Amino acid sequence: MKALILVVAMAALPAAQANGPAAGSWTAELAGKTFVRLELKTTNGAVAGGISIGDIELDKQGAVKKAGESPHALTPIFDAAMRGPILTFARKDGKDTDRFELRVLDDGSADLTFVLDDASRKELAASGIAGFKPIHLVKHGSQ
């Protein structure tokens, strides 16, 4: 009986992780402006939602130094998958596809990282920018 309970608990773990800390409304602000909005929800264990990112400018270390207000409309995300404590997902930006990782932290906040391809890394380096530091997000509720 104990083995059956353990098997059932282990089978439910991936769905619990997807329903748990990642679901909800997330934002990042700079100088009083919300420049990132991320809305995540889960249905039957699948993560869905949308993201909105304002125009941003990075300093030489890769941190956001200037940011415009995020657009009102969210861009749908796709390829969402929980991999341990990290949610990976993508969005279309014109003809490009942007890829992200969301790492929920112990304090309930999260870090959003742009997953850069080689061409993007080279472009940043050519501009004298070391990389792209994670953007800190604050959660405002769960869905």
pLDDT in tens, the chain (143 residues): 444 333 333 333 343 443 557 899 999 999 999 999 999 998 888 899 999 999 999 999 999 999 999 999 999 999 999 887 899 999 999 999 999 999 999 999 999 999 999 988 999 999 999 889 999 999 996 55
Distance CA 80, CA 107 (A): 23
In the chain, the domains with their CATH numbers are 2-141 (2.40.128)
